[in-house]
Amino acid sequence: MSAIIRVSHLSKQFKDTKAVDDLSFTVNKGDVYGFLGQNGAGKSTTIRMLLSLIAPTEGDITIFDKKLSTHRSAILRQVGAVIEKPDLYKYLSAYDNLSIFAKMSGIKASRELLMQQLEMVGLADRAKGKVETFSQGMKQRLGIAVALVHNPELIILDEPTNGLDPQGIADIRNLILRLSREMGKTILISSHLLSEIELIANRMIILHKGKKMVEGKVSELLDPAHSMIQLETTNDQLAKEKLLQSNWADTLQEGKSIRLLMNKQAVPQLISDLVGLDVSILSVNSSHSLENYFLSLTTMSGHVEPFAN
Amino acid sequence: MWNLLQIELFKISKRPRTYIAFAAIAAIVFIFQFAFKADGQSYMNLMLQSVKDSFEFERTKAINGYFMCYIILNTLLVQLPILVALIAADSISGEANMGTLRLLITKPISRTQLIIVKFAAATIFTILLLVWMAITSLFFSLFIFGADDMLIFRSKGDESQILLISKDDVMWRYLAAFAYATVALTVIVALSLFLSIFADNSIGPIIATVCIVLVCTIISNINVPIIDKNVRPFLFTSYLVGWKGFFYIATTEDGVPIKGSVENWAAIRNSLSILLLHIGVLLGASVFVFRKKDILS
């Protein structure tokens, strides 16, 4: 599979803060690539570097097999982007905004094409309406139309569902899936919600404090084989000691509570073994290990080890 | 590039604030014209008081369209930088404030192109502003007051001088004066654009531009030899009113004005060169800074 984006040892230093730290990843043709991390993880900074809004302190970015630093215009001709809020010219109509950005993208867009784009995002009937009268969701959809008007190969969406209601989020999600499945676009989408990325991305990366924590296929990273099982017993201390002397010792995680990283399918066997060891079980909870890991990133501060799949 | 310039001009034309400058000019000019139509003779009596007996001129003809335009330009061209800054200082900072700057930068246009197009659009706006000023202050005044020989009051050192320019020798001087004013105001465009790069809203660069113009104008007017010699020649504000040079007509030894002449061409050329140098330096600095700037807004 050919790589569309290749990022290698990318870093960005803002005065005393290292926003992105030695980051490397690859986005392949046709991927919907999820860019996940809490606020301040370095997602937006990385996306801004991919779009040449800010210059990297170190590292290389190659898009469409061309170096961004030397082939900026040629690359950006094939890229469409929505960066955070879809800020457009509020005093202009939806049609005028789309027309302006189509021209800036280097294409001569006919009225039919522009109306088609507005139709696609459900704004054809508001083509002449000024953007200042639009809701957040309408602005977001217009922002996506602007990003798509020149039919780019690569689409970069930075938190495109921010501030949208559930219906708006579902609309954007469906649009992204259509762009990927029906039109074969390569999409890089950032979010701070794992559940959102899980629904649309085929590959993803998790960033924390500018560093890569994990990267891979969503189906593998969220495989039930990597479940976190949490047990509550009548005597957790005693139960832990007994587990450490059993075949389950390797799966036991550090911490106060009893947590085991294991295949969900093996839970009946675990319960049977614990009963055999005279451990009285009060409750068993299962969640995906990556989900727990991601949750821990958003709650803890300080040093965090990369996720071991 | 032409495409981008069209887009910029389209955006400027759609913003209400663009028309504030045109409305302000029209209002000021019409107030002047009304005041002079109603009681211009009192002004002329005051101005000609010192030369009452030595200067023969039909006073009723002194207030004509050419004279009115000169009076208006004399007042307005000092204030015009503020109106120009309203648009030029908004060029980059206004986009940053709206959040559209990052979208512009992600388009396949270079940052240098973007700065040059913004500069060109603001310069075209300035030219249109001056054309509007020419229409209202010169052509409307000619329509209201008629055309006749033009009187110029000039302070030269401690002396006051009155020059008389034949009416068929005036129009080209106005064309030249407006062309000069375009160059002078383009320095303000370049300055505003440069300041605009550093801000995320347009208020800061507008105020900064006005403050710089104000401070430099005050320094330009301090008549102390050390400033006259070492500071004044380097300040662009010293040359903003250089357009008046086109109306300082050369005279014979007997004091008779020489038609089609200008007293000091060299001074005008020198002023223009310094203004153009300021434009070049400010525009170059804008490109240099903007190319290196991280777009975070």
Domain boundaries, chain A: 3-216, 224-299
Q: Which two tokens stand for residue B106?
A: 């992600």
Chain B residues within 8 angstroms (CB to CB) of chain A: 3-4, 7, 10-11, 14-16, 98-100, 102-110, 292, 294-296
Nearest by CB to A91, from B15, B107, B296: name it: B15
- The whole-number pLDDT of residue A198 equals 80
User: What is the value of pTM for the model shown?
Assistant: 0.82
pLDDT tens figures, B272-284: 999 999 999 999 9
**B297 lies in some domain:** no
Residues of B in contact with A76 (CB under 8 A): 106-108
For the record, the structure tokens of B70 come out as: 């000169």
Of A90, A100, A104, the CB nearest to B109: A104
What are φ and ψ of residue A74, in 5° steps?
-60, -40
Residue B193: predicted pLDDT: 94
Task: Specify the pLDDT at position B56.
Answer: 59
- Which of A15, A64, A89 should be substituted to probe chain B, the one whose Cβ sees the most B Cβ atoms within 10 Å? A89
Place of tokens 């396949």: B108
| CATH fold for domain A224-299 | Alpha-Beta Plaits (3.30.70)
Q: Which domain holds residue B82?
A: 2-292
Q: CB B98 to CB A53 under 8 A? A: no
Tens of each residue's pLDDT in chain A, 309 residues: 688 899 999 999 988 888 898 889 999 998 999 988 888 888 889 999 999 999 999 999 999 999 998 999 889 999 999 887 778 898 999 999 999 999 988 888 888 889 988 988 888 889 898 988 988 888 888 888 898 888 899 999 988 887 777 887 888 888 888 888 888 899 999 988 777 888 888 888 888 888 888 788 877 777 767 777 888 898 888 888 888 888 888 888 877 788 888 888 888 888 888 888 888 889 988 776 566 666 655 555 555 556 555
> Which chain A residues are closer than 8 Å to B10 by Cβ?
96, 100
The 3-state DSSP class for residue A166 equals helix
Contacts of B296 in chain A (CB under 8 A): 48, 53-54
Residue numbers in A near B100 (CB within 8 A) = 87-89
End-to-end CA distance of chain B: 25
CA A193 vs CA A37, A259, A292, B36, B276: distances in Å: 8, 23, 13, 71, 55
Angstrom distance (rounded) from CA A159 to CA A46? 13
What pLDDT sits at residue B158?
A: 67
- The segments of chain B whose pLDDT lies below 50 read none
CATH 3.40.50.300 fits A3-216, yes or no: yes
> Residue B36 and residue B68: Cα distance in Å, rounded?
8
Q: Please answer yes or no on whether A55 and B292 come within 8 Å at the CB atom.
A: yes
Task: For residues B186 and B180, give the distance between their C-alpha atoms in angstroms, rounded to a whole number.
Answer: 10
CA distance B273 to B113: 25
Q: B86-120: per-residue pLDDT in tens?
A: 888 888 998 898 888 888 888 888 999 999 999 99
DSSP H/E element including A158: strand A154-158
A89 and B98 in contact by Cβ < 8 A?
yes
- State residue A299's pLDDT score: 58
Specify the pLDDT at position B186: 95
Of B236, B244, B242, residue with least CA distance to B220? B236
CA A103 centroid distance within chain: 30
Ramachandran area for residue A280 (φ above 0: left; ψ -120 to 50: alpha; else beta): beta
DSSP state of B151: E
Domain count within chain B: 1
Q: Any idea what the Cα angle at residue A29 is, between residues A23 and A31, rounded to 5°?
A: 70
Q: Of how many residues is chain A composed?
A: 309
Contact between A88 and B100 using a beta-carbon 8 Å cutoff: yes
Interface test with chain A among B6, B106, B293, by most A beta carbons within 10 Å = B106
Closest CA to A162 of A190, A132, A122: A190
- Residue A301, pLDDT score: 53
The complex's ipTM? 0.79
